Structure 1
Amino acid sequence: MFGAMIVVRSLVLFMLAALAEIGGAWLVWQGWREHRGLWWIAAGVIALGAYGFVATLQPDANFGRILAAYGGVFVAGSLAWGVVVDGFRPDRWDLFGAGICLAGVAVIMYAPRTAH
């Protein structure tokens, strides 16, 4: 049971990290490319900084593992953000690729390991 709670916590942290990073990048994009102004850019920079802190809360102590796994979450989360916020319609190959990335996340983060 305790192991399942660690996985749930990790998944929630990955979702929060994705929200902060993708949302922050989107805010910067809106501020600069869509000419919404410096306040949008500033909010984006703050959100991107928050992403960095959220990653430190992951239960695994290995920076490389966390960031590698987060890459897969970022891919899937970016597609989801595009659907929800920008009306993007991913095709089956986008979805298939995101699924592969999320399978990679599961292997990297949650595969059973032996202690060294």
Structure 2
Amino acid sequence: MLNYLWFFLAALFEIFGCYAFWLWLRMDRGAAWAVPGLLSLTLFALLLTRVEAAYAGRAYAAYGGIYIVASLLWLALVERSRPLASDWLGAGLCVLGAGIVLWGPRFNPA
């Protein structure tokens, strides 16, 4: 379960970092937004290394499901746009998939 905490925290920092660049480049809020964006993206990368996984690629693949949920929460709480029921259904399936990728059985061909 601790992996999900690391994934969620990493997602918040990644989303904020990307959103800072969105504010700068799409909303004309000024280049100063690049500084917190870069710091946030650095923290994202550091947090993602905390995940217990044998391979980085597997951790990144599993992270994708949590990122989707965090993005929908960001959409609702920060951007004040209500996600659709289909958004949540898709996110739930992605979280299920993330768990399978991270903790599913590993078969070694003989």
Give the Cα–Cα distance (whole angstroms) in 2 for the partners of residues 61 and 39 of structure 1: 38
Q: Which amino acid aligns with 1:91?
A: L
1:96 to 85, 89, 94: 89
2:55 to 18, 37, 62: 62
Equivalence for 2:100: 107
Give the Cα–Cα distance (whole angstroms) in 1 for the partners of residues 86 and 107 of structure 2: 35
Cα RMSD between the aligned structures? 1.8
Identity of aligned residues (%): 35
Q: Which amino acid aligns with 1:26?
A: Y
Equivalence for 2:20: 27
Structure 1 alignment gaps of length 5 or more: 1-7
Q: Which amino acid aligns with 1:37?
A: G
Counting matched residue pairs gives 109
Q: Report the Cα offset of residue 47 of structure 1.
A: 0.8
Partner SS for 1:86: coil
Taking structure 2 as the reference length, the TM-score comes to 0.89
Taking structure 1 as the reference length, the TM-score comes to 0.84
Q: Report the Cα offset of residue 114 of structure 1.
A: 7.3
